[in-house]
Structure 1
Amino acid sequence: MSQQVRGVVVTAKDAPAEVTTIVIPDPGPGEAVVRIQACGVCHTDLHYKQGGIGDEFPYLLGHEAAGVVESVGEGVSEVGVGDFVVLNWRAVCGQCRACRRGRPQYCFDTHNARQKMTLEDGTELSPALGIGAFAEKTLVAAGQCTKVDPEVSPAVAGLLGCGVMAGIGAAINTGQVGRGDSVAVIGCGGVGGAAITGSRLAGAARIIAVDIDDNKLETARALGATHTVNSRTQDAVEAIRELTGGNGADVVVEAVGRPETYEQAFYVRDLAGTVVLVGVPTPDMRIELPLLDVFGRGGALKSSWYGDCLPSRDFPMLIDLHQQGRLDLGAFVTETVGLGDVEKAFARMHGGDVLRSVVVL
């Protein structure tokens, strides 16, 4: 039997995010209903609100979430009622060519719940990243639920659902940062900060944080950066080369998603170094590089989608590191807010003094 809960919905481009009643159907085959305990406020949710990702309004926002499985549909074996889970937006299919080749982190046919959540009048909702977790409960594909240790705080566990995993994975999985490497991270918001943390976990010897905001650079130092560069007042390329003996960094993580910062990343890497694009560009953005420079510098130019993570592998591992005191996920939580405070949290993003606001239910 369907149930009514509160959720945060945006009905049109740039309309305010409002708490309203939504209808959750019973889970069908392969689906699960999860009672949400906490959900981070991510820039991606703001992009949905601004129409930057699509126009399938109304959107049910929220996707960086943790909670408890309340019910499951027919055929579900991955999780059971009462399991504490982190939600992810990439339930792998297990059947596509990437999955069959043993690379499920690159699954080409990820999926979400088949049924739709709705408003009271029956209007179908589009859940952000197939999750829609600014709500007391949400409906997802069971494969979007990853069991983790229930002793961890939901407010920190949920952050693995997007930004923190994207940044850590960009450094470790995509960039393959190793012991003794030099790393530059351009853009020190939540994702860039996580890339700094991931680089520190991997044993990088020198981690250079680049941003135009001194507050973010101060936070970057707290997360593990050994050096900082304010690119508003310094030439980032020259500064990073000077800090790396004139060579450039072994791995450069671009966490902004803009042509000018990507060009910085390209020219600030060492010969045969690696550039990782994890910042999300808009469809209209273009970049132009001399093809001879691309050829002559060697190395690798990579994009990182969700940190090239495999949730079933990476989420429990990172939670274990957190509980061992080796990964401070709590450092990414700037504030906790209520379900009705999402619009205020969006406004705080522009101030540069928040890594994550987290909605706690």
Structure 2
Amino acid sequence: MAQEVRGVVAPGKGERVRVETITVPDPGPGEAVVRVQACGVCHTDLHYKQGGIGEDFPYLLGHEAAGLVEEVGPGVTEVAPGDFVILNWRAVCGRCRACLRGRPWYCFDTHNARQKMTLGGRELSPALGIGAFAEKTLVAAGQCTKVDPSVAPSVAGLLGCGVMAGIGAAVNTGAVGRGDSVAVIGCGGVGNAAVAGSRLAGAARIIAVDVDDRKLATASALGATHTVNARAQDPVEAIRALTGGFGADVVIEAVGRPETYEQAFYARDLAGTVVLVGVPTPDMRIDLPLLDVFGRGGALKSSWYGDCLPSRDFPMLIDLHLQGRLDLGAFVSETIALDEIEAAFDRMQAGDVLRSVVVL
């Protein structure tokens, strides 16, 4: 039987979000209803609200979530009612050319629930196919990854997007290894997760770059060995000075702007790797001398969702957190209620928080 629950809706481009009563249908084949316990406030949700991702309003916001499976539809075997799960926005198909080549983290046919949640009979567009600023949400069962239920939902959900994107950019995409030097440009939630991931991978030197000393302090707590305030120093020269004049083995750009990407390009060592995990806007362009691209060698990579495979990476990272080797709690600046999300967006834009987390 369809259920009515509270959810946070972005009604139109640039409009304030509202807490509304939405309808969640019974799960159909391959679908699951999840009772949301916690959901992080991610910059992507703000992009949806501002119309920066699409114009399929109204949007049901929220996607960085954890909760309990309440009900599953026909044919679901991955999870069962009562399972504690982290939600993901790239449920792999298992059939596309990437999956068949044994690279499911590149899946070209990821999927979401077929049915739509509604508001007054009007279909809602769930953010990243999840829509978890709600007491309950409908997703594809493949979007649910079962993890150890002893972890706090407020930290588990962070792996659903930003923290996984950053850790994966270092560990999966950048292939940071023992003894490497790493520079991370942009130390918001994703960038600082890249710092933590580089530490997990055994990097010897981790250089955090930002214009906000508060974010640099967090980077130090998460494993950065050196910090650079780009307002006070040229980041390229500073990174080179800290790496014997050569540049870093891996440079992770977590801002998504042409000027910071160019800094990343010139701050890496010869044959080094640049990883772009910051999300640019459609109008942005980059202009680099092609001879420099050729002559410096190495690799220029983009990282989608940290090239993660949720079934592989989420349980592993939760285990590392429970062992005390990955402090997911360090990313949580505050916990809030559903009706405080608009104010949380303001604090995020002002740089006052690393992550606000809605706890239901």
TM norm structure 1: 0.99
| Residues 278 and 305, structure 1, Cα contact 8 Å, conserved in 2 | yes
- 1:331-342 alignment to 2 at 5 Å? 331-342=330-341
Which secondary structure does the structure 1 equivalent of 2:175 belong to? Answer: coil
- 1:226 maps onto 2:194 in alignment: no
Which secondary structure does the structure 2 equivalent of 1:95 belong to? Answer: coil
Structure 1 distance, partners of 2:151, 2:229, is 35
Partner of 2:312: 313
Which amino acid in 2 is paired with 1:276?
A: V
Partner of 2:197: 198
| Residues 216 and 353, structure 1, Cα contact 8 Å, conserved in 2 | no
- How much is the aligned-residue C-alpha RMSD, in angstroms? 0.5
Partner of 1:22: 22
- 1:137-216 alignment to 2 at 5 Å? 137-216=136-215
Structure 1 distance, partners of 2:100, 2:159, is 26
TM-superposed deviation, 1:235: 0.6
Partner of 2:296: 297
- 1:262-277 alignment to 2 at 5 Å? 262-277=261-276
> Structure 1 unaligned runs (5+)?
none
Which secondary structure does the structure 2 equivalent of 1:23 belong to? Answer: strand
Which secondary structure does the structure 1 equivalent of 2:241 belong to? Answer: helix
Query: Percent same amino acid among aligned pairs?
Result: 84
Which secondary structure does the structure 1 equivalent of 2:66 belong to? Answer: strand
- 1:98-113 alignment to 2 at 5 Å? 98-113=98-113
Partner of 1:71: 71
TM-superposed deviation, 1:218: 1.0
Partner of 2:2: 2
Structure 2 distance, partners of 1:359, 1:20, is 16
Structure 2 distance, partners of 1:298, 1:360, is 46
Partner of 2:129: 130
Which secondary structure does the structure 2 equivalent of 1:288 belong to? Answer: coil
Which amino acid in 1 is paired with 2:134?
A: A
Which secondary structure does the structure 1 equivalent of 2:12 belong to? Answer: coil
TM-superposed deviation, 1:352: 1.7
TM-superposed deviation, 1:232: 1.0
Structure 2 distance, partners of 1:294, 1:169, is 24
**1:322-346 Cα deviation digits (max 9, x unpaired):** 0000000000001000011000100
Which amino acid in 2 is paired with 1:235?
A: D
TM-superposed deviation, 1:309: 0.1
**1:222-270 Cα deviation digits (max 9, x unpaired):** 1111101111111111111000000000000000000000000000000
TM-superposed deviation, 1:354: 1.0
Which secondary structure does the structure 1 equivalent of 2:5 belong to? Answer: strand
**1:40-77 Cα deviation digits (max 9, x unpaired):** 00000000000000000000000000000000000000
Which secondary structure does the structure 2 equivalent of 1:79 belong to? Answer: coil
Which secondary structure does the structure 1 equivalent of 2:283 belong to? Answer: coil
Question: How many pairs align?
Answer: 360
Structure 1 distance, partners of 2:77, 2:217, is 45
> Structure 2 unaligned runs (5+)?
none
Which amino acid in 2 is paired with 1:148?
A: V
Which amino acid in 2 is paired with 1:311?
A: P
Structure 1 distance, partners of 2:349, 2:123, is 31
Structure 2 distance, partners of 1:4, 1:196, is 41
Structure 1 distance, partners of 2:73, 2:214, is 47
Moved more, 217-226 or 309-318: 217-226
TM-superposed deviation, 1:111: 0.2
| Residues 189 and 216, structure 1, Cα contact 8 Å, conserved in 2 | yes
Structure 2 distance, partners of 1:265, 1:100, is 33
| Residues 25 and 115, structure 1, Cα contact 8 Å, conserved in 2 | yes
Which amino acid in 1 is paired with 2:111?
A: H
Which secondary structure does the structure 1 equivalent of 2:114 belong to? Answer: coil
Structure 2 distance, partners of 1:296, 1:271, is 8
TM-superposed deviation, 1:306: 0.0
Structure 2 distance, partners of 1:215, 1:38, is 25
TM-superposed deviation, 1:279: 0.1
Partner of 1:118: 118
Partner of 2:34: 34
Structure 2 distance, partners of 1:354, 1:271, is 36
Which amino acid in 1 is paired with 2:223?
A: G
TM-superposed deviation, 1:219: 1.1
- Deviation above 3 Å: which 4+ runs of structure 1? none
| Residues 333 and 356, structure 1, Cα contact 8 Å, conserved in 2 | yes
TM-superposed deviation, 1:24: 0.3
Partner of 1:260: 259
Structure 2 distance, partners of 1:61, 1:351, is 20
TM norm structure 2: 1.00
Structure 2 distance, partners of 1:295, 1:275, is 14
Partner of 1:329: 328
TM-superposed deviation, 1:353: 2.7
Structure 1 distance, partners of 2:18, 2:330, is 28
